[in-house]
Homo-oligomer: A and B are copies of this chain.
Amino acid sequence: MDVTDSSSHSSESGRGRPGARQEYKCPIRDVLDRVGDAWSVLVVSNLAEGPTRFNELKRRVEGISQRMLTVTLRHLERDGLVSRTVLPTTPPQVEYALTELGHSLCGPLDVLSGWATANQPLIRASRERYDGEAGELTGGE
């Protein structure tokens, strides 16, 4: 494991401007920004099953707003994980598909989701224990 940030800013960089971190951080960061975005993962995993059109995707990811789907797809496209193909039909159809790079991400993502699925019970349990204890202390009772 070596995700340790090396190109870190001295804390003065982000001073005064809340939320405005900085542009250059460790390489991992920006990838995690994408992976960490729950929508991205759901979209990618959906696309893993094959090319899909916008509204179809919106239906499948169900719960995502139109705006977020657009934004997410743009990000994924920008990162070269997803390709966007406009079919010259009327009405216009747009097909999204994983690129090679996108497919290659599925492996690592799978490992992670495997871990998540396997350990979710433990995590859930830990949370309930934690929350329970917290409640005891606060509630006094």
Using CB atoms and an 8 Å cutoff, list the residues of chain A in contact with chain B.
Answer: 1-5, 8-11, 13-14, 21, 25, 27-33, 35-38, 41-42, 44-46, 48-49, 60-63, 77-80, 101, 104-117, 119-120, 122-123, 125-127, 130-131
Contact = CB atoms under 8 A, between A and B. Distances in A.
Contacts of A44: 1
A42 B79 contact: no
Contact of A80 (B78, B79, B123): B123
Given A2-B45, A29-B38, A114 B119 contact: no
14 contacts: A1-B44, A1-B48, A3-B113, A5-B63, A13-B63, A28-B113, A28-B116, A32-B38, A33-B38, A78-B131, A79-B126, A104-B115, A105-B119, A108-B114
